[in-house]
Copies of this chain bind each other. A is one copy, B any other.
Amino acid sequence: MTEVTITNMLTVELVDHMGDDHAIAQAARVSTIGAQYQDIDEVADGRLISYLMRDRHASPFEHCVMKFRITCPLFTGRQILRHRTNSYNEESGRYREMEPLFYVPPPERPLVQIGKPGHYTFELGTQEQHELTLHSLVRAYSAAWREYQFMLSKGIAREVARAALPSGLFSTMYMTAKLRNAFQFVALRIHDAEADVVSHPQWEIEQVARQMDDFIKELFPDAWTAWVANGRPSL
Complex interface: chain B residues within 8 A of A81 (CB):
78, 81-82
A229 at the interface (CB under 8 A from B): no
In the bound assembly, the distance between CA atoms of A158 and B85 in angstroms comes to 29
Q: Identify whether the interface residues of A are mostly helix, strand, loop, or mixed.
A: mixed
A35 and B176 contact, CB distance less than 8 A: no
- Roughly how many angstroms separate A139 CA and B164 CA in the complex, as a whole number? 9
Of A82, A125, A140, A160, the most chain B CB neighbours within 10 A belong to: A160
User: Which A residues contact B (CB, under 8 angstroms)?
Assistant: 15-19, 23, 26-28, 30-35, 51, 55-56, 59-60, 62-63, 65, 67, 71, 73-75, 77-78, 81-82, 84-85, 87-96, 98-99, 101-105, 109-113, 117-118, 122, 125, 129, 132-133, 136-137, 139-141, 143-144, 147-148, 150-151, 154-168, 170-174, 176, 178, 180, 196-198, 200, 202, 234
